[in-house]
Structure 1
Amino acid sequence: MRISIYGSTLEAYVTAVCLALTENSVTLFSNSFPAEDDELPFIKSEPSLTNKLSEAIKENTLKVRETSAFINANIHWLFYKGKNFDELLYVIKELLSDQEAVSVVISTTLGVGTYNRLYNHFENEVKNGFLKLATLPSFIREGRALDDFANPELLLIGTEDNQLISTLSYLLSPVIQKAQKVMFISGAEAELIKTSICSMLATRLSLINELALLSEELHIDMDKVIEGVSSDSRIGKSYLDLGCGFGGLTLPQEVNNLLEQFSNKSTASIMLKAVVEANQTQKELLFRKLWHYYQGNLSALKVAIWGASFKPNSSSIANSPIHELVEALTAQDCNISIYDPAAMPALEFKYTSYANVQLCDDKYAAVQESDALFIVTAWDEFLAPDFNQLKTLMKIPVIFDGRNIYEPREMETLGFEYFAVGRGKTINL
């Protein structure tokens, strides 16, 4: 089949590569929508994506174009992660003006109501058969994106058009065979399912972090609590990782989308507002601990930060806690040195004008003469550093671990003061 894909996101590239390697002719228009500032480096950091991309191009089943010229295709698949509905609307209008009839699939984070807004806007074209419309929410995760596409836990195909259902079933037949569950539903239902999943995951993360704050006050190791809680089959282990706040594009945007939906209804969501507020507070946790540790005397201190991406195996700093930390430390006249193995291009773009921010190409260079070390991202290379070298390089051997990657007793034995989330030494905030 001939497939045109529009977008510069990870999802767009992965979908283009996977479809091109299953005997389809795919054209990827990578500049169809504006990219986030830190979005494109994923091509290098995503396992196997570069090789698969080269393979598909070499086999001539995939063409990557920077222009937005529209071509005849069986499916036009739009990937959009922005916030402007009109940008999505514009591309569909262009498709309709260039061809007699088109089948359009949308994968977007615009959230609940997007499908119905598009359907209502193009109602005449839909009823007259000029536009066939579907939505396929993406559940692709950075670091394992190719596997998520090829072997999904859940595949949602949202459309009421039987012909389009048939076309997508044929196109995605290799995926459908491996998916744990496939649902053919309306576009509106698909959007609400995706948003509900993201909101529930965000709620789990915020709640477990709040419980961790209580565990610190009670001098209880939160890891033991999580071990017990997760043994209940009704709860399980997923998304119970303690940390200094969740980030990325998907979870925050989906939660905000759902909040907007509630704001337009007679009932407001008290819980989702609390989730957003709790996550924002959590992003400030490491700074608050530093503040109390130094009793508010932070001016001219040097703070090292290991990790900036919102999660390991990602180059994206979208909604990462790094931003709250940099702003808070800057306001206190602190000097900041940051190291991240993948997010340096994004950091350079964001913080190149900050005179107090130094970007380092080595984790040990970042901690030289530092008064504290923050750990923001649980990259593998941070798990077992040379602690003797680390202690020698630091001016004050104190670590504020936002991802709980070390054992508190071991760190104490090594001569570090160690403050984590729900573990380690306790500071009354």
Structure 2
Amino acid sequence: MKIAVVGTGYVGLVTGTCFADTGNDVTCIDIDQKKIDNLNKGIIPIYEPGLTEMVLHNYEAQRLHFTTDLPAAIKPAEVVYLAVGTPQGEDGAANLSAMWAVVEAISPHLRDDAVVVTKSTVPVGTNERIYSMLKDFTGRNCHVASNPEFLKEGAAIEDFMKPDRVVVGVRDEEDAEVLRQLYKPFLRTEKPFLVMSPQSAEMTKYVANALLSTKISFINEMANLCEKMGGDINDVRRGIGHDSRIGFAFLFPGVGYGGSCFPKDVRALAAMAEEHGTVPQMLRSVDEVNERQKTVMIDKVKTHFDGKLEGKTITVWGLAFKPRTDDIREAPALVLIDWMLEQGATVRVQDPEALEKVKADYGDKLTYCERRMGSVDGADALVIMTEWKDYHSPDFAEMYQLMASPVIFDGRNLYEPERMKRRGYTYHSIGRPTVSPSD
């Protein structure tokens, strides 16, 4: 099948590459000439495990192409995926200006039987507007479907190739059948292909992300309560997670969620609710709890140092909002870093993938460290903000000798408090008592 994917961001590049990997002829389109030139040279703009190898394999097999020539890519396409950015506007709602521009741009070049599919996360009603716009531009009823993505950064290839489910929103069964055949290679283990209205498909994406965000904010709020009442959130998490109605997924306490999806989608769904006269109390609370959680490590560091950070050297392990990605959008680590810089601290940072992106934003304000151990040499404290596997088993004895003061603030609960106490560390974590060798 000939497929065009408009947009070579995270969603567009993963979508196009995975479809090419099952034998389709895919052309990815972008207006950024430099990005397209780099992709044609094998330079991938994002870090995602397995993506570079898959892009190169399908590019060399001549199944995957990159271009800025939109008309040439759209004209032969049987399916046109729209994967353009829908950033958050000032009011919290999604900004769809890029989407509308693309719809107008593709309209003169669409085949009569082409199915236009929204892959971007878009507000409910976007499909209907695209359908109306294309009818106005072309003078005919076009095929427009919704196919929301459910990709986790750091596991996107696996999620696409082995989905829990595929959701499509269509007006007629003919369009559903086109997409069913396209996804058939990924659904060989009888995972469901769910057909619904475009409005329901658009809503499904937002509701899924809002519910997952709610679980994170809930467990973080309970973690903070555990600290005040002498409980251990890890024990509590185990106590509730074995309840089959609850489960363990997304019940790991920490310093808040970030990234390009959860914050934006929760706010966008709340904005949609308000537009329709509904008060989104829970959604607003989920967002507020998460924003407050991003400051929990600031409170811990401030208390430990009596608010006096000037002249202190603090090392931060983990800059990306989660492991297995270089995405720093809304990353909790940046909230902490901004505050420590304001307080006059010297801040060293280490991350397996996100250093360059942070350096592009912060320049010489930070000290960038390639090696974990080198980053803690002479440090007054270490703060862990992302649960990279690299950080799970460091040489604690060597760290103890290197650090000016053996203090660790663990925003991801990677270590056991009593073991850290025996190793001679003052250890702060989330939802558990602080321990110190002097206790």
Calculate the TM-score normalised by the size of structure 1.
Answer: 0.92
**Structure-1 residue corresponding to 2:19:** 19
Q: Is contact 2:145–2:168 with CA below 8 Å preserved after alignment?
A: yes
Structure 1, residues 12-66: CA drift from partner, whole Å, max 9, x if none? 222222211222111112446999xxxx997674222222212111211111224
Find out whether 1:257 has 2:259 as its counterpart: no
SS of 1:16 mapped into structure 2: helix
Q: 2:370 aligns with which of 361, 364, 377?
A: 361
Q: Is contact 2:71–2:106 with CA below 8 Å preserved after alignment?
A: no
> What is the distance in 1 between the residues matched to 2:203 and 2:273?
12
Q: Is contact 2:215–2:250 with CA below 8 Å preserved after alignment?
A: yes
Alignment RMSD, CA only?
2.2
Shift of 1:223: 0.6
Q: Is contact 1:6–1:31 with CA below 8 Å preserved after alignment?
A: no
Find out whether 1:381 has 2:395 as its counterpart: no
Q: 2:287 aligns with which of 276, 288, 313?
A: 276
**Structure-2 residue corresponding to 1:76:** 80
Counterpart mapping for 1:206-245 below 5 A: 206-245=217-256
* Count of matched residue positions in the alignment of Structure 1 and Structure 2: 420
> What is the distance in 2 between the residues matched to 1:340 and 1:165?
43
**Structure-2 residue corresponding to 1:60:** 62
Q: Is contact 1:74–1:103 with CA below 8 Å preserved after alignment?
A: yes
Shift of 1:179: 5.5
Q: Is contact 1:109–1:253 with CA below 8 Å preserved after alignment?
A: no
SS of 1:279 mapped into structure 2: helix
Calculate the TM-score normalised by the size of structure 2.
Answer: 0.90
Structure 1, residues 372-408: CA drift from partner, whole Å, max 9, x if none? 1110001111111111121122111111100000010
Q: Is contact 1:7–1:32 with CA below 8 Å preserved after alignment?
A: no
Find out whether 1:29 has 2:33 as its counterpart: no
Show structure 1 runs of 5+ residues with no match. none
Structure 1, residues 101-121: CA drift from partner, whole Å, max 9, x if none? 342111112333322332343
Q: 2:422 aligns with which of 395, 413, 421?
A: 413
Identity %: 30
Q: 1:315 aligns with which of 317, 322, 326?
A: 326
> What is the distance in 2 between the residues matched to 1:347 and 1:401?
21
> What is the distance in 1 between the residues matched to 2:138 and 2:417?
61
Shift of 1:87: 1.0
Compared CA separation, residues 137 and 63, structure 1 to 2 (3 A): same
The one-letter amino acid of 2:122's match is L
Q: Is contact 1:12–1:79 with CA below 8 Å preserved after alignment?
A: yes
> Which segment drifts farther, 240-249 or 170-179?
170-179
Q: Is contact 1:43–1:50 with CA below 8 Å preserved after alignment?
A: no
**Structure-2 residue corresponding to 1:104:** 116
The one-letter amino acid of 1:386's match is D
Shift of 1:224: 0.6
**Structure-2 residue corresponding to 1:8:** 8
The one-letter amino acid of 1:132's match is H
Compared CA separation, residues 364 and 21, structure 1 to 2 (3 A): same
Q: Is contact 2:119–2:149 with CA below 8 Å preserved after alignment?
A: yes
Q: Is contact 2:104–2:137 with CA below 8 Å preserved after alignment?
A: no
> What is the distance in 2 between the residues matched to 1:212 and 1:174?
42
Q: 2:176 aligns with which of 162, 165, 182?
A: 165
Q: Is contact 1:41–1:315 with CA below 8 Å preserved after alignment?
A: no
> What is the distance in 2 between the residues matched to 1:16 and 1:100?
19
Q: Is contact 1:6–1:32 with CA below 8 Å preserved after alignment?
A: no
Shift of 1:127: 7.7
**Structure-2 residue corresponding to 1:370:** 379
Show structure 2 runs of 5+ residues with no match. 36-41, 88-94
Compared CA separation, residues 331 and 414, structure 1 to 2 (3 A): same
> What is the distance in 1 between the residues matched to 2:108 and 2:69?
17
Shift of 1:69: 4.3
**Structure-1 residue corresponding to 2:90:** none
> What is the distance in 2 between the residues matched to 1:317 and 1:285?
19
Q: Is contact 1:75–1:105 with CA below 8 Å preserved after alignment?
A: yes
> What is the distance in 2 between the residues matched to 1:193 and 1:233?
23
